[in-house]
Amino acid sequence: MSQQNSKTGKKGLRTSVVSTVIGISLVLFLIGLVGAGMFFFQTIEQKAKESVQADLFFGATYNAADIKQVEQELKGWDCFSEVTYVSPERALEEFQGTDQESTELVAIYEGEDILPPTISFRPEASYANRSGMNKIKNRILKAFPDMVTEVNYDAATLSEVNLGFKQIVFVILALAALLIVIAVAMINNTIRLSLYSKRFTIKTMQLVGATSGFIRRPFVRQAVMQGLLSGVIAMALLMLVFFGVNNILYIIQIDLTYIELGMLFAGLLIFGALLTLISTWFALNKYLRMKLDDLY
């Protein structure tokens, strides 16, 4: 009978540990999805901002060789992701494909270079805003005051890109905050329920003279291990989701770098271990302070 009770107790303990780890893993998995979404969103934002195009126009007295020399110098600046010399022929091809009126105008001036050579550039993502583009413009006009007559870019499109991404960031941050609050509440409740079944063991150890530190040590160690294991399981589930999305939904491709994956994995491990540690600490303090009669 004693052996049967012992087996039942061990089975119940294993079930409690497994259910706790599964619950924490699922919560960390949801948080990991939001974290991965943030990294994925940052990549899209960077590509969108670096797709903004601006053009440099030069005085009529400067030839292609002079403009190409400026191109080479601009390629050494740290504020550009791309700098390209645009010949009159290429500019004409792009202009001709914009609308019907452009095509008719090109036909009228057939054989003539109606568009001058220019330099097209795309800024780095950190410069793809009104302030950054003004800095680039002023720097270019200061470096080439006689050659460059105009720095042209679509300010309205630039503002729309930045405003749109700011709104998306706000939504993602609000969702992340909500998930973290839910995660803290769920993990804390899971840990409390797990320790509730051991409240008599905790009180018995205390009554026979065990110190609070001695009682806490195995529970805290177990909690940290559960948090780390949950983080590993959550990351495995995330990798499974990424693999499925990349191989089934060809429209969406989740391309996270090794650094981003490492940061995500480390974040889940730290968050899982820290949260289970704190929840276990406070739950243990509650039962250590309770009187024996209050445990029933």
DSSP string for 140-203: HHHHSTTTEEEEEE-HHHHHHHHHHHHHHHHHHHHHHHHHHHHHHHHHHHHHHHHHHTTHHHHH
Q: Which of 133, 153, 173 is the last residue of a domain?
A: 153
Q: What is the pLDDT of residues 80-128, one digit of tens each?
A: 989 988 877 666 666 555 544 444 444 444 544 556 788 889 999 888 8
Cα(125)–Cα(46) distance, rounded to whole angstroms?
5
Q: Which CATH number covers residue 91?
A: 3.30.70.3040
Strand partners, 110: none
More confident position, 39 or 4: 39
CB atoms under 10 Å from CB of 29, counted, come to 20
Q: What is the pLDDT of residues 188-226, one digit of tens each?
A: 777 777 777 677 777 777 777 777 777 778 888 888 898
Across 176-187, average pLDDT: 77
Percent of the chain with pLDDT over 70: 79
Across 18-45, average pLDDT: 82
Is residue 97 domain-shared with residue 26, that is, in the same domain?
Answer: no
Across 269-290, average pLDDT: 81
More confident position, 186 or 25: 25
For residues 219 and 288, the answer to whether their CB atoms sit within 8 Å is no
Domain hosting 108: range is 53-153
Is residue 167 domain-shared with residue 275, that is, in the same domain?
Answer: yes
pLDDT at position 95, please? 54
pLDDT at position 229, please? 92
Provide the token pair at 198: 């051991």
Is residue 184 domain-shared with residue 147, that is, in the same domain?
Answer: no
Q: E-strand spans in 43-92?
A: 54-58, 80-86
Q: How confident is the model at residue 72 (pLDDT cuts 50, 70, 90)?
A: very high
Is residue 171 domain-shared with residue 273, that is, in the same domain?
Answer: yes
Q: How confident is the model at residue 61 (pLDDT cuts 50, 70, 90)?
A: confident
Is residue 184 domain-shared with residue 71, that is, in the same domain?
Answer: no
Cα(185)–Cα(196) distance, rounded to whole angstroms?
16
Cα(128)–Cα(49) distance, rounded to whole angstroms?
6
Is residue 92 domain-shared with residue 238, that is, in the same domain?
Answer: no
pLDDT at position 236, please? 92
Cα(119)–Cα(148) distance, rounded to whole angstroms?
10
* Residues whose CB is less than 8 angstroms from the CB of residue 266 and which lie 6 or more positions away in sequence, other chains included: none
Is residue 124 domain-shared with residue 105, that is, in the same domain?
Answer: yes
Across 173-191, average pLDDT: 77
pLDDT at position 15, please? 60
CB atoms under 10 Å from CB of 215, counted, come to 19
Is residue 65 domain-shared with residue 94, that is, in the same domain?
Answer: yes
Q: What pTM was computed for the model? A: 0.66
Is residue 32 domain-shared with residue 61, that is, in the same domain?
Answer: no
Q: Residues 257, 261, 267, CA angle at the centre, nearest 5°?
A: 145
Q: Which of 153, 180, 210 is the last residue of a domain?
A: 153
Q: How confident is the model at residue 290 (pLDDT cuts 50, 70, 90)?
A: low
Please report how many Cα atoms fall inside a 13 Å half-sphere around the Cα of residue 241, on the Cβ side.
14
* Residues whose CB is less than 8 angstroms from the CB of residue 99 and which lie 6 or more positions away in sequence, other chains included: none
Is residue 193 domain-shared with residue 286, that is, in the same domain?
Answer: yes
Is residue 275 domain-shared with residue 207, that is, in the same domain?
Answer: yes
Q: Which of 103, 122, 153 is the last residue of a domain?
A: 153
pLDDT at position 109, please? 45
pLDDT at position 146, please? 86
Is residue 34 domain-shared with residue 58, that is, in the same domain?
Answer: no
Total domain count, the chain: 2
Across 247-259, average pLDDT: 72
For residues 102 and 96, the answer to whether their CB atoms sit within 8 Å is yes
